[in-house]
Structure 1
Amino acid sequence: GWIVDKDGNPTTDPNDYYSGGAILPVGGDQGHKGYALSFMVEVFSGLLTGLGFGIDPEARHNDGVFIAAFNLEHFRPLEEFKKEMGEFVEYIKDSPPAAGFKEVLYPGEIEWKNEQTRRRDGIFVEDETWAQLSDLMESLNVEREVGKP
């Protein structure tokens, strides 16, 4: 399996993960790809933020965030990077999708598509929620630029 239970035993039961288990790096128990990446994610989003590390699944150790911003031109010319990134995305998008899927997506693509749709069509808000938001904005003297359709 690709998961271990809370005692480190291999398992294929997803409930074992939610009961304190862990997802193994790429390659399962023989894998190491992704181990350093997952280690650094834990350091950056847990230890660096002061939220510790995930030893207690009930504790507040699962909501740390780390955001890195890079000046790409410190690494290489920006246009060169953009060109190669475009080629990389094209390579990914041209890959045949797995059975049952229409396309191969790159990280963030679904969110980008959803943003474009919502900018074009708006965001649906239920009437009750809209009324609560409207009352709150009015009580705070917040002018709104949006209206109920």
Structure 2
Amino acid sequence: RTDEPLELQLLESGTVTIQAGGDPRRPIMDWMSDPTNPWFARAFVNRVWASYFHVGIVDPPDAFTPANPPSHPALLKWLTAGFIESGYDMKWLHRQIASSQAYQRSWKPNATNPQDRRNFSRAIPRRLPAEVIYDAVKQATVSTDKV
């Protein structure tokens, strides 16, 4: 251990200096949220989108590679730019997604989209996770039992 600052090389975008004995989270978060760093905002937007639609604009959500391009690059670019311009405001991002036509579409397929799971032409019904059902039953029955 020394009192010299550490320099971290992070994802092809320069270095982050961490003072010895200092908290490394602040400089790393500053690097992540830097508007010139496209990775954090794109990945975050894609994960939030995937939580709503059960499929990301880049799917799987953690596979941002040239071999796995976004299904809708203009949408990802627009949401990412807006998320950065809003100061990384999650409320803005959720509002944009929830008020979109894609999110408000019916789950009922029509003649053109019964097999579509990639283009967001309809909502895809999905089951609730077991934990959510368990918590709902506990809350509805005012149960304090723990499993």
TM-score, scaled to structure 2: 0.32
TM-score, scaled to structure 1: 0.32
Q: Which protein is bigger by CA-based radius of gyration?
A: 1
- Does 1 or 2 have the higher relative contact order (CA < 8 Å, sep 6+)? 2
